[in-house]
Structure formats: structure tokens, C-alpha cells
Structure 1
Amino acid sequence: MTGSEASPSFRLAYVPGVTPAKWVRIWNERLPDVPLTLLQVSATEAADALRDGGADAGFLRLPVDRTDLSAIPLYTETSVVVVPKDHLVAAFEEVTAEDLADEIVLHPLDDALDWAQPPGRPAIERPATTPDAIELVAAGVGLLVVPQSLARLYHRRDLTYRPITGTPQSRIALSWREDRTTDQVEDFIGIVRGRTVNSSRGRRPDEETKQKPSGKKEQPSGKGGGAARGEAPAGRGQRRGAAASKDGGRRGRPRRRS
């Protein structure tokens, strides 16, 4: 799909636990004429939302079938175990998967961690969703291991959570359909990668660094440049010397470089 076929709006899907507010704010600042619509989807629906055209791009949890989807891994989440506040686990700063060997650990059908079987003893039935599993933890039925973002999202005053080691971790990625890499998708990729508004769209930051500017060399500007520190450009020693003599040869206090 070419840039001319791009939608007049940009639809961004995201799974529970992801907070896209920062990137949405930058989009609205840079592209105020292109509305961005947020679509919250479940982890199981995220890839299909991209494939069927329901969203132009999305934040989802890996792994994802990359046969027709592109994905840029962004960050890895800490896994935590959710427990009642009066549970023994709450007395520790961190636990291991082996510490839960004698506990019933719930395994919801929409589990966000890529494992076949959680630690501990399985419940008689698997909860349908993570929110359902949270309710069961509050009822004292078992414990739940989830990415920390989900523990925060579904927080209850009678529950707490602790980091756990020896379990899988959830990785968040920006994904889109490979044959629908529109100019808007490229714009959003640039925002997520941290490119400035003047960066060339579609080029990787390392490729931009390698490309040397042609023509007359520009004087440095902005923070850290000579002009910003009040220094005279190189090659103007006479002018600097004249200013020094006018000052009576006195040296001022060294200026702190920013």
C-alpha cells in the first residue's frame, strides 16, 4: 500500500497493560490533521485486528506469527505473582517459581505469558480471563502470575503482588501488516523509535547516522553547540583577541558547559 492510499485517520490497537499515551501525544503534536483512534483489544484478538484491517498498527505481546506481520520488540515486562495481602508471599520482596510449588496457581485462557503450565498446582478449571482470575485470587482460590502491567491494571485494595523469578516474561512489540506499511505507519514507527520531527521517514536511526551531509558544512547549533555556549566560531582569533584587549585582559569565571 502506498502513502497515497493511507487512511485519513490512524487506528492504533493495544492490548491491556500497554499505556500508549506518550506516543499518542507526540502523534497529535506532529500530525494534528490526522486523528488517531485508540482501539483496546484482547491479547488473542490483537493480531487479527491487524490482519483484517481493523487497525493500522498495534501494541501486542510476543510471540506473533511474522508470516504477514512485521514487529519491532520494544520492552520486556517484569513478571509478578498476585496474592492476597495477608498471604505469606506478601512478606517477601521477591519469590521464585519454586516457592509456589505447593500453591494453586491459576492459568487463565487469555494468559499473557508464553508457557504451557504455570508453577504450583493447577486449579480444577482454568478461568476464562485474567480479570476472572484476579477475582478468584481475592476469594482465596489460588494465586496468579502475570506481567506487572496487568497486576497494576486490575489492582484491588485487598491484593498485592511481588516480583517472581524463574518464569517467562512478556515482551511488548509494535506490529503492523507488512503489505500495509503506509506513510502513517512509518510516521508512527519513527515516533516509537524516538526519531525527531526532522528525521527522514522510513530510515533507521543507524542509517541516518551513517549518511554524511553534502555541500557546505553547517555550523553547530542548539544545545551543546558553540553558538549556544557563547563561543566564537573557529578561525576568528583576531576578533576574540580584540574583545580580550578591550576587557583589559581580565579573565572571567569559566563558563560551565551544559
Structure 2
Amino acid sequence: MTGSEDSPSFRLAYVPGVTPSKWVRIWNERLPDVPLTLLAVSVAEVFDVLRGGDADAGFVRLPVDRTDLSAIPLYTETTVVVVPKDHVVAAVDEVTAEDLADDIVLHPLDDTLDWEQLPGRPAIERPATTEDAIELVAAGVGLLIVPQSLARLHHRKDLTYRPVTDAPESRVALSWPEDRTTELVEDFIGIVRGRTVNSTRGRSASQPEPKSKGSDKGDKSAARRKPAAGKATGKPTGRNPRTGSGAPKGAKRGKPRRRS
């Protein structure tokens, strides 16, 4: 928990291409009294931001050094090649790395893909950032292979992209310092993992319990008033009239068989 005990807050870092809006919306619904601050951080800086305490957790790209950081893998992205709209690649649905052998393929310094062997022909100089590489693609200098989210982030009307079927893939994860797994971090982990508000872990302190104390008496009184199973109440019992057994909740009911 960051800030004072009376005014907690949560700081969430995220790398380019990740869109945290869905999880932020759920956070604001569940913990309206705990402000969440978003920090846009480069791939090269995000782990230092987490270790330095400038963020409580962050959406990062794997791999993660598990020595002092915890991580939950979330999803894997499609890898695409960004090309000018008049490039021959734009005429097909997908390509392989071999299809790009005769093209200059840019390799920016902030590349997020783990290549064993770079495809295509290398550029004379590596661009500093993916954004710089996109500008070079638009200028006709070369092509760029990136996760699809980065192609969308840097979208231009004069460029398009196609999937590269055999390229390395980028995996996005939620990461946080292992020695600072606070209650708020646990709350956010619960949101990312899809836990309900009343689950054991991931429930915020501000959420009421499903049953309030002192309600047992009322429950017992209601139980005494409830008719015994099988009594005529004018309501269906859910039992099979032929066998007397009840179908399990959620079971599919078959159509009645016609006698021959």
C-alpha cells in the first residue's frame, strides 16, 4: 500500500502496446476510494521503475527476472510485419520470415522480440525506438516486425501490417516486486485473474461481506417457515415424476421419448 494509511493509492506502470483500461475500470468500480495512477513506461525502464518503488505493479513483456520480481503471464500477441500499403506483402494475408529475405528489416534498440536469427537484410544503423522505425518504414527505408499492439499503437494511413507466422511472439505479464506484495497488489491480481468481488483473495476491504453479522436468527426463522420437500405447495419440486430423483443443477434436460 502506498501513501499514508488514511489515503492509500495504487500506481500501475504499463509498457507501450498494453491497454490497461479494462482492468482500471474494474478497479474503480471495486475500490472507488483508492485512486489508481497510470504510468506509461518504456520497455527498457519498466523493471527499474518497479524495483525502485515508483510503481506498485506493472504490465510488462516477458521475460522477467524472477530473482526479485513476481510475474503472472497474461496473453501472447500475434507478431506482424509493418509495410507500406503499396508493398507486395500488402497483397497477401500472411507471410513467413523467409518471404522477407530480400527486404531490409529494421531492428530497433527497444525491440521486444527474442530473435534467434533476424530475418531479411540488416539496416546500416539500428533505429533507437520502434516509433523511429515506423517513420523509416513510411519513408520506404525498410520493414518492421513487431507485436500487433505496437503496429496498432503507431498506426499510419500509409502503412499496413500482416501476420508473420513463424516469428517469435511477445508475451505480456503482470509483474511486481516480490517483497512488496501488498493487499492492494493482491486486489489487482484478483482483478486481472478474473476473480469475483466476493472471492477469498482479491476482495477489497471496502466491500461488504455477503452476509452481515446477526443474520443467522432470521435465516433459521425462514427455514422453519419453509415447507418440507415433497409437500403440496403449488410449486414444482424439480423431481422426476417417474423415478422421484432430482436432476443436478445446470444439467441439460432431454426431450421426452414418444412411446411406440
Q: TM-score when scaled to structure 2? A: 0.78
Alignment match of 1:240 (pick from 234, 238, 257): 234
Q: How much does 1:166 deviate?
A: 1.1
Q: How does 1:42-191 map to 2 (within 5 A)?
A: 42-191=42-191
Q: How much does 1:242 deviate?
A: 9.7
- Cα distance in 1 for residues equivalent to 2:173 and 2:126: 27
Q: How much does 1:236 deviate?
A: 3.8
Change (3 A) 1:181 1:138: same
- Cα distance in 2 for residues equivalent to 1:242 and 1:115: 64
Q: How much does 1:115 deviate?
A: 1.7
Q: How much does 1:240 deviate?
A: 3.3
- Note the aligned Cα RMSD (angstroms): 2.6
The one-letter code of the counterpart of 1:143 is L
Preserved CA contact (<8 Å) 2:11 2:38: yes
List, as ranges, runs of 4+ consecutive aligned residues in structure 1 with deviation greater than 2 Å: 4-7, 240-243
Q: How much does 1:118 deviate?
A: 2.2
Which sections of structure 2, spanning at least 5 residues, go unmatched? 204-215, 220-225, 238-251, 253-260
SS at match of 1:165: coil
Q: How many residues align?
A: 217
**1:111-165: per-residue Cα shift (whole Å, max 9, x none)?**
0111254201100000000000000000000000000000000000000000111
- Cα distance in 2 for residues equivalent to 1:234 and 1:148: 60
Change (3 A) 1:8 1:90: same
Which sections of structure 1, spanning at least 5 residues, go unmatched? 204-215, 220-231, 244-256
Identity, in percent, stands at 79
- Cα distance in 2 for residues equivalent to 1:20 and 1:120: 33
The answer to which structure has the higher helix fraction is 1
Preserved CA contact (<8 Å) 2:103 2:142: yes
Change (3 A) 1:234 1:177: farther
Counterpart position of 1:226: none
